[in-house]
Amino acid sequence: SQKIEQNSEALNIQEGKTATLTCNYTNYSPAYLQWYRQDPGRGPVFLLLIRENEKEKRKERLKVTFDTTLKQSLFHITASQPADSATYLCALDARANRLAFGKGNQVVVIP
């Protein structure tokens, strides 16, 4: 069956350090992968998109990698700040114009 796995345990990290989140998938062949941020009581907000032929994408303090052999994406927040505290969702191209979302991984940045 198809699965998207993100760590269910919150990541607690000291301000200024790099937070790294993992998204693993099974039985998908995504042409692209996206990362979203969701704050409590709000809808997800798009952060980054990476295509299957791209190894790495950066935007300001964010970096995403995509390894189609390992079926994994890593999401990094460098120099983390308390304002980065949120839940981060990975979303895969599930074909037929659908996105399949992971359950999300909460990040707590400690001042």
Partner 1 sequence: EAGVTQSPTHLIKTRGQQATLRCSPISGHTSVYWYQQALGLGLQFLLWYDEGEERNRGNFPPRFSGRQFPNYSSELNVNALELEDSALYLCASSLAFTQTKNIQYFGAGTRLSVL
Selected from 102, 106, 107, 109, the binder of partner 1 by CB under 8 A is 102
Token pair for residue 41? 């009581």
Contacts to partner 1 from residues 6-65, by CB under 8 A: 31-32, 34, 41-46, 49, 51
61's torsion region: left (phi>0), alpha (psi -120 to 50) or beta?
alpha
Tell me the per-residue interface mask from 71 to 90 with partner 1, x by CB under 8 A, - otherwise.
Answer: ------------------x-
3-state secondary structure of 39: coil
3-state secondary structure of 76: strand
Q: How far is the CB of 40 from partner 1 (least distance, A)?
A: 11
Between residues 4 and 80, which has the closer beta carbon with respect to partner 1? Answer: 4
Selected from 93, 106, 107, 109, the binder of partner 1 by CB under 8 A is 93
In this structure, are residues 85 and 109 in contact, taking their beta carbons and an 8 Å threshold? yes
Selected from 12, 29, 103, 110, the binder of partner 1 by CB under 8 A is 103
In this structure, are residues 86 and 39 in contact, taking their beta carbons and an 8 Å threshold? yes
How far is it, in rounded angstroms, from Cα 11 to Cα 1? 27
User: Which positions lie near partner 1, rule CB under 8 A?
Assistant: 31-32, 34, 41-46, 49, 51, 89, 93-94, 96-104
